[in-house]
Amino acid sequence: MEQPGDGLILFCKKECATCAMIVPVMKELSQGGRSLTIYTQDDPGFPEGLPGVINDTTLEQSYHFQIETVPTLILMEKGRETGRTVGWDREEWRAMTGIKGLGEGLPLFRPGCGSKNVEPGIVEELAVRFGGVHLTSRRIVSPPLEDEMETCFAHGWTDGLPVVPPTEVRLVRMLEGTTRSPDERIGTIPPNQAACTVEKAAINAVMAGCKPEYLPVVLAAVEAACLDAFCLHGLLATTYFSGPVVIVNGPISRAIGMNSGVNALGQGNRANATIGRALQLVVRNVGGGRPGEIDRAVLGNPGKYTFCFAEDESGSPWESLSVERGYPEGTSTVTLFAGDGVQAVVDQLSRTPESLARTFAWCLRTVAHPKIPMAADAILVVSPEHGRIFQQAGWTKSRLKEELDTLLQIPGKELVRGAQGIAEGIPEEMKELTLPKFRPGGLTLVHAGGTAGRFSAIIGGWLASGPRGSQPVTKEIRS
C-alpha cells in the first residue's frame, strides 16, 4: 500500500449526504495551498473536478486507516497521524485545517455515514485480503467443479453430516467471537496428541455451524476436555457408549440463546446443537479421534454427534451446578461429563419428596446394569415439575443426594454373579457387603426441561468413571 504523505487526508463516499454537503469545503481546502488527498469509497468520479482524488473502491486505504465513518478528515505530520475528526463539525474542521472561515454557511454539525469498509460482511473480507489477521492453518482448495461440502466429506472432516466449509472469511468472522489470539494454544487433543489452538477450534466451530458468540463456550469445552481428570484419550478408545456431554451455566447461556427448557436434551436449538458438535469435530479433526480407528465403541450413541444443553438456573429449586462445583454465582462455565444416552424417568403420581426420591433411586440403580455398583457415574436431570416437589417440601440438593445415597445402598447378595439368575455381577465373596450404587461424588443433579410433564432423565456415565477413568470437569468461560 502506498503511504500518503503529510497533509490532510479525507475519506468520503458519494452516497453520503454529509460528504455531498461538504464538497464546497473540499474545494476550498484544495485551493488553500494545503496538501489534501481525498479517498473516495464508492464512485471514482466523486467529488468531480478536484485534484488529489484517489479511487479507494477496493477499500484498502479505508481498511488500513480504520475508517468507521465518512467523512473522516485526518491530519498527517512527519509520517504519523496527529489529528482526526469524523462527520462534519465546523469548529473541529477549522481547528484542524487552520482556516478560520472554513465552511461558512454550512450547518455547525452533521453526522456522517457508516464507512463501506465496516459494512457487515465486508470487514472480514478486507482482513483476509489485506493481511489483517494472521492465520497459520493449511489452505486446501476445493476442485473447481466440486461442491465445497463434498470436498469436506472427501477429506474425512465430517461426522457424517454436511459441515459448513471453513473459508478464510468465515474463520475471521468466527474469531471475532473471542478476544483470544488465534495462535493461543488451548490444549493437546488425543489420540494424536495434537496441539489445538484457538484458530483450530474456530475452524471446527465454523464447520459445526456455530455463531461467533458461541466460540468462547467451544473454547472452554475444548479446554475442559483436555484436562487429565476428564481422560479424553480413554473415553475415545472405550468400547462403551460414552462421549462428552456439555452442560453450560451462567449468563452466557442466556446471552447466546441456549435451550434449558422444553426439549433441552433434544434437537432444534442452534447453540445447543453446534457447540456440542464443534467439540466433537475438534476431537475428530484435530485429535484424530475417528470411529472405527481409535473410537472403538460397540454401538456408540447419537449424543456423539452433539450433546450439549444449558441448566435452567432461574427456575431451579437449588444452587446451580457451577456454584455447587465451586464457582461464584453468575460465573459462566462449561461442565463436561463422560456420558451415554438419555434414560427416561417416569413418575406422574408421586407428590412427596420421599416417594419421588425412591423412584429416582430405582431408576438410577439400572445405570449400566442393576447389579454393577460404583462403576459408572450419572447425571440426574430433574425436570421443573419434579423439582417443584422438592422445593415445596424444602429439600435442598444435598438432602436429596443424601436420601439417594441411602436408598442406593445395595446388599451384596443381590449383586453377586448368578443372583436373580443373571451371570453378571460382583464376585461371590462380596455377598456379605453392602455397596453403594455410586462412588462418593458420582451422582450429579442438574435442573432442566419443560414446565409440563412429570418426567426426568438419567445420563449414565462411562463404566470407568472416577479417578481411575473420567471425572466431571468444569472450566470458566473466558471471552
> Which percentage of the chain shows pLDDT scores above 90?
90
Quick one: pLDDT at residue 396? 97
pLDDT tops 70 at residue 2:
no
Average pLDDT over residues 77-105: 94
**Band of pLDDT at residue 133, cut at 50, 70 and 90:** confident
Question: For the segment 195-243, what is each residue's pLDDT rounded down to a tens digit?
Answer: 999 999 999 999 999 999 999 999 999 999 999 999 999 999 999 999 9
* Cell numbers representing residue 64 in the block: 488500513
What backbone torsions phi and psi does residue 188 show, to the nearest 5 degrees?
-115, 120
Helices (H) and strands (E) in the chain, counts: 16, 20
Quick one: pLDDT at residue 5? 78
Question: For the segment 343-385, what is each residue's pLDDT rounded down to a tens digit?
Answer: 999 999 999 999 999 999 999 999 999 999 999 999 999 999 9
Distances (CA, A) of 278 to 67, 351, 474: 34, 41, 18
Quick one: pLDDT at residue 51? 81
* CA-wise closest residue to 378 among 358, 390, 364: 364
pLDDT tops 90 at residue 134:
no
From CA 34, how far away is CA 395, in angstroms rounded?
A: 79
Distances (CA, A) of 20 to 25, 48, 91, 116: 10, 11, 19, 16
Quick one: pLDDT at residue 32? 75
**Band of pLDDT at residue 1, cut at 50, 70 and 90:** low
Is 256 in contact with 214 (CB distance < 8 Å)?
Answer: yes
Average pLDDT over residues 318-332: 97
Half-sphere exposure of residue 455: CA atoms within 13 angstroms, side-chain side:
13
Is 180 in contact with 219 (CB distance < 8 Å)?
Answer: yes
Question: For the segment 144-167, what is each residue's pLDDT rounded down to a tens digit?
Answer: 889 999 999 999 999 999 999 999
Q: Is 441 exposed, middle or buried (0-12, 13-18, 19+ CB in 10 A)?
A: exposed
* Cell numbers representing residue 329 in the block: 454465582
Quick one: pLDDT at residue 473? 98
Q: Is 132 exposed, middle or buried (0-12, 13-18, 19+ CB in 10 A)?
A: middle
Quick one: pLDDT at residue 208? 98
H-assigned helices in 120-250? 122-129, 148-154, 168-175, 198-208, 215-225, 232-237
In the beta sheet, which residues pair with residue 459?
342, 379
